[in-house]
Amino acid sequence: MGRVTIPLDILSDLKEPTTLRFFFWCLVQATPAEITLTVRGQTLILLPGQFVFNRRRATTELEDFGLTERKIRTALSRCVASQKVSQKTSQKITVITVENFGIYEVTTSASVPKNVPKNVPELKNKDRQRSESPVVSNARNTRNTKDKHPALIEAITQVFHHYRKTFPTFGRTVRPGHKDWNLIGDRIKDGYSIDDCISAINGNSVDDWFKAKSFHSIKYIFRDTEKMDRFILTWQNYHRPVISDKTQRGIRAATAFVNRQEETHGTERQG
């Protein structure tokens, strides 16, 4: 748990929701105290408000909020244009600086303790590997690691394989036991077949509203049966042939003619 306090003018400067969400993420990523890191064999000194940016890691952490890699790139450009952040790339390492970091109040459970010295000595040998872990590790990989449906692992694997094939930029951190993995198992346990799950994934991929929002995370597809049914129906209708208005009028006219003929013959037989 944590808290971020910002000036109100941020809401007017960053009106676009995904840009604002990305800026909040930057605030949480920024170091509150000066630290020394070793990244890709290079020693970096990060000042308060700075952090090492990795677009792939950002996509992994923000995909549940609808931020694709393309949207993150756009959001970063907007933040730079509004002078809320700046970025500097050197030897394939990008460091982002949150401008005027001191005006924000950021409290997170993973914040650096107050008693940490400003200058942290560089760690060597085996300790150096541990110093890199905050930069490249993803804490979400260690959460929700209990597999609720071990008996359904083959079925879930088939569905998840199709999901990753359909949305290559989503679900990179999902493994057996992950909350999203268990969501697929929940729906299969509810009685949905593998084909139903695949149809739901396909339906989400062609749904105009979800495409516009880039809401393709597993939780948006499998979190409840109502959404599942909607996506399955969307995919079924997607493959139905489109009948023009002229053809529909012809069908209605032919049906009406046949009905009149049947009524006429029925009256003649009664007479």
**pTM listed for this prediction:** 0.44
Q: Domain ranges in the chain?
A: 3-137, 150-238
Write down the pLDDT at residue 155. Answer: 92
Phi and psi at 44, nearest 5°, equal: -120, 140
Write down the pLDDT at residue 195. Answer: 93
Q: Does domain 3-137 have CATH number 3.40.50.920?
A: no
Minimal CA–CA distance to 158: which of 190, 210, 196?
A: 196
* Separation between Cα atoms, residue 189 and residue 90, nearest integer Å: 50
Write down the pLDDT at residue 266. Answer: 65
Phi and psi at 121, nearest 5°, equal: -65, 150
Burial of 73 (0-12, 13-18, 19+ CB in 10 A): middle
* pLDDT tens series, the chain, 271 aa: 567 788 888 888 888 888 999 998 998 888 888 888 888 788 888 998 999 998 888 888 888 888 888 999 999 999 999 999 999 988 888 999 999 888 888 776 544 444 444 444 444 444 444 434 333 334 444 444 678 888 899 999 999 999 999 988 888 888 888 989 999 999 999 999 999 999 999 999 998 888 887 888 898 899 888 889 999 999 988 866 555 677 767 777 778 877 777 777 666 666 5
Minimal CA–CA distance to 36: which of 94, 108, 121?
A: 121
Write down the pLDDT at residue 95. Answer: 93
Write down the pLDDT at residue 114. Answer: 40
Angle between helices 153-166 and 179-189 (to 10 degrees): 120
* Separation between Cα atoms, residue 127 and residue 2, nearest integer Å: 28
Whole-number Cα distances in Å, 4 to 26, 109, 226? 11, 12, 35
Write down the pLDDT at residue 267. Answer: 64
Q: How many CA atoms lie within 13 A of 48 on its CB side?
A: 15
